[in-house]
Amino acid sequence: MKALYLIPLVLVLCLVSLPAAEKPPVPPGVKNASVEEFDKLRAAKNAVVLDVRTEKEFKEGTFRAR
């Protein structure tokens, strides 16, 4: 009888954890840049850097403005 309750619970836990394992798709026009590419891009005179990190991510480390 306990197994009948356990099976749905395991299935729900598997389904909940599945989306977290996948990376979200990158929207059109957006490019992930490496650290080296980012440094080259932000060195441009017309560059605008928009920091969209969460507060937690920001506290983990910052980059130097130029």
pLDDT in tens, 8-41: 776 666 566 655 556 778 788 887 888 898 888 8
Between the two ends of the chain, the Cα-to-Cα distance in Å is 65
Q: pTM, whole model, 2 decimals?
A: 0.37
| Strand residues in 1-66 grouped as ranges (E) | none
Q: What is the DSSP letter of 24?
A: P
Amino acid letter, 20: A
Query: Which residue, chain included where needed, has tokens 């990158």?
Result: 26
Q: Domain residue spans in the chain?
A: 2-59
Tens-place pLDDT, residues 35-62: 898 888 888 888 887 888 888 888 888 6
pLDDT of residue 3: 62
The reported pLDDT for the residue numbered 22 is 66
Tell me the Cα Rg of the chain.
21
